[in-house]
Amino acid sequence: MIGIDGFVELTAEQIAANKVLAQNATHHASWPWNEAAVSYIPPIAYPSDGLPYLWDEATTAWVAFPEFPRS
């Protein structure tokens, strides 16, 4: 069913099933579970400069996407 905001409204059972799937998904060890987002989130916000980054678990930091043109 589509809600007034245009998004599909999920049943309680669908929400619970999606939560289980998210919790069982592979994730970075340093990312904590966020109940409000129903997801694992990075401990450091994604950079907002518009460039692509990858998460480096060894340094627990965002690193510039390799070989992405920066000019």
Distance CA 10, CA 16 (A): 10
pTM of the model: 0.63
Q: What is the pLDDT of residue 61?
A: 96
Half-sphere exposure of 42 (CA within 13 A, CB side): 13
Q: What is the pLDDT of residue 5?
A: 66
Per the DSSP assignment, residues forming a β-bridge with 21 are none
Q: What is the pLDDT of residue 2?
A: 64
For 19-54, the pLDDT digits (tens) are 888 888 888 999 998 888 878 899 999 999 988 999
